[in-house]
Structure 1
Amino acid sequence: MIYLDYQATTPLAPEARDAMLRWLDGPDGQGFGNPHSSHRMGRAAAAAVELARDRVAALFPAGGKVIFTSGATEAINLAIRGTKGGKGKDSVSFSAIEHSAVGDTARSLGKFHELNVAQDGQCNIKQDMPADTRLVAVMQVNNEIGVIQPTVEWHRRAKEANALFLCDAVQAYGKIEVTGADMIAISAHKFHGPKGVGALWIRDGLDLTEVQTGGGQEGGLRSGTLSPALCAGFGAAAKEAKERMAQDAEHIAALWDRAREMFAGWELNGSADARWKGNLNIRKDGLDVARLMSDARNVCFSAGSACASGSGRPSHVLKAIGLSDKQAKSSIRLGFGRYTSMEDLEAGARSILEAAEAQGI
């Protein structure tokens, strides 16, 4: 099986797995302590959590604090629901290509505004926002088309509007430098960490209110017992990503160049320049993607985001950049990264191309 779906999830790094094992049980059978307990086992587990917090924080802007969550969705909900605006500031403005964790959460609060994007997939910086905007949300790298957003400019726009800025950096963290924001959401399994753990980074001086009640863990912002194993794996993955970021980027750029060469003649969705090169979203007119995925069953790739697969609806991201329903439904997404070999990429591409040719495409 050839795995080309890195935007959905990434393989667990061996370093992350090794870090987790100590806190699942441990060689002495005493690695399962509750990090919120005051006895010796609890203090040891708490120390592992804090080491992981420091490692995760090392890839964020200087200052601020890291709040561990169950993943980016929870982090985004905490950011959107846990912040309040000043008088007359009660709506959320978000780009039309945000993940549903942002869009659906903002919509559920009743007052929201969608920011439009250009055909290249970048959120247009020169557009008006409602005067009542309290929070602006623009992701750093889009999960479906890989386009890098002008988040620095949007952070500035938010400040000028006396609003907070939330950045979904799920697809950016551990791959490129994460830019400034008031809050940043990430998820460990998108950069070779374990599933079930993520974080919200909050800049210094910003106070949030809790959105769930309970034991008051994580500074009173996120109740619930933390998993030392998940946190340790998260931290180890962050440490590894920081140390080999340039090496990973060089490898991925070579894979991108080869993939573009093999899929010559296919249309690229989104910018070719302002892009994370581990994401290749392409289309071929007339392509039956469901049949393609069945015929090329030895390759794991996506017809859209994993969160929306099976819905039958065209991708809201592809629709937002101007594609028709037919064009959106004839698009595929290939994702590759650190553990993708050139041989696997080429074999996977050949399988997809042969399956497309069988359709007369």
Structure 2
Amino acid sequence: MKILVTGAAGFIGFHLCEKLIKEGHEVVGLDNVNNYYSQELKLARLEELGVKSDHDLKFNRAYKSSLHKNFAFFRMKLEDRQELPELFKTENFDIVCNLAAQAGVRYSLENPEAYIDSNLVGFANVLECCRNHNIKHLIYASSSSVYGQNKKIPFSTEDRVDEPISLYAATKRSNEIMAYTYSHLYNLATTGLRFFTVYGPWGRPDMAMFLFTDAITKGKTLKVFNEGNLERDFTFVDDIVNGVMAVINRIPSEKDLKYNLYNIGKSRPVNLMSFIEEIETQLGLNAKKELMPMQPGDVDKTWANSQPLMKHFDYKPTVEIKEGVEKYLKWYKAYYS
């Protein structure tokens, strides 16, 4: 199939592109390569996919991979109402996997406009392009953050999610509602995936895995929020990608529901202090910890009920914390050396 992956220079998007390329699909990657975090890391991911830029990626032009004949990349903004429809018109995609978004809960407190532009205006543009160009299936990233301070454990897609506690969460919930409307009005097949605390090689430098590892290896003080009384459903990136692939590989038929929503996580929360201890053990170093109060926008616990995804798509997360941390640290040492 011919598949558009937005957010291709991002953490999960990069891994998904690798997997799709390996399986022989024709893949077009799209990303605006903004400076929310290190552009160096984003460009290094693209280089792994065969797109070498020398820091001069032009907007709205194709870059062919030097490593894979079935991959091309465009630097483009989702909210561009001229260039994105033109891309859909010329490329004739079968499937769209929208992983592009302005990420980060805490950053949304400081820079709300970035979330409105990318996550709302950009997503609306994607939906319009999908309905106008006969896309067979739109798969898009949502987030566990939509559950807010939900007290019912584990989190289920049947739970109420109308009290988001960050703008990031509000935009992700909005995406789900927008997708529902397009599925209802235009018979567009959409599947939303609520990701739960993804970690692994090539992860973002604003994510817990990097922050913990970087502080411990450099002897810096590690800020531990809510005094460590947090639990997260840490899910290794390979398990996430395998789940996304399962959804991609089954195009909904006319008999299937047009709107679907699933949790995708390990479904086994881990105490934050235990996660830090695993990193300490594997590094052979002790962290200098500063216990901090709860951060605005954060939640106490995340725990995915992923049973519907397991049932309908044979989703089976297999990577345990010890193995996942080991794989991340191997990459971290090689990349940041």
TM-score where L is the length of structure 2:
0.29
As a proportion of its length, which structure holds more helix?
A: 2
Higher relative contact order (CA 8 A, sep 6+): 1
Considering only CA atoms, is the larger Rg found in Structure 1 or Structure 2? 1
